Homo-oligomer: A and B are copies of this chain.
Amino acid sequence: MERPLNPTAASLLGFLHHGPMTGWDLVAAAQTVIGNYWTLTQSQVYRELAAMADGGLVVAGERGRRDRKPYSLTDQGRDAFSEWVRREPGPETIRFPLLLTIVFGRHLEPERLAEIVAGHRATHRERLARYEEMRSTALGGTDEPDVYGMATLDFGLHYERAVLDWFEQLPAVIRGSVQEDSV
């Protein structure tokens, strides 16, 4: 009678399919693999791990070198993951503070708003560049690229391009009148 897994916990189980991993490893794996569209912190990972060990979904092995504490999947954990991955995934949630600032844009000076917008625009430009690099690296490697990972990376690419398009078509009151198109 377990409550359904939360996505964060489920992801950890997903990673554990590759073999035993420690909390530290899982944080690193999560940040590189799903970090672009799912965030999780160290303390969250240790908490979920402890809870799942408690529920019998994972078991801790012997402490290793630097006090490393590797967790492995149990059959129960495997089943729970299996059920989770087949369920209907919930709707996405987007929380974009910049949009709040914009919606209340009449309450600050146009110059300040434009400044804020420009900063975020730069950030997204960098992110797009990073994703593009990740993509070409993945394609250029020796082993054949993972279709699934590639699909989620492509999501990031589509998203960042859309955001940049949006920035570019913002009216002058918001974006500022000075063009800053030099990269």
Binding site for B on A (CB under 8 A): 7, 10-11, 14, 17, 33-34, 36-39, 81-82, 85-86, 88-109, 112, 116, 119-120, 123, 147-149, 151-152, 154-155, 158-159, 161-163, 165-166, 169-171, 173-174
Residue of B nearest to A36 (CB): B94
Task: Looking at the assembled complex, report how far the CB atom of A178 sits from the nearest CB atom of chain B, in whole angstroms.
Answer: 18
Q: Is the CB of A89 within 8 A of B98?
A: yes
Chief secondary structure at chain A's binding surface = helix
Given contacts A34-B100, A169-B154, contact A92 B94 (CB under 8 A): yes
Copies of this polypeptide in the complex? 2
CB-CB under 8 A for A89 and B81, given A14-B104, A171-B147: no
* Contact partners of A158 in chain B: CB under 8 A: 162-163, 165-166
A–B Cβ pairs within 8 angstroms, 29 of them: A7-B97, A7-B100, A14-B104, A33-B103, A34-B100, A36-B94, A37-B95, A37-B96, A38-B99, A38-B100, A85-B101, A85-B107, A88-B116, A91-B97, A91-B123, A92-B95, A93-B95, A94-B94, A94-B95, A94-B159, A102-B148, A102-B152, A103-B151, A105-B148, A151-B170, A154-B169, A158-B162, A159-B159, A159-B162
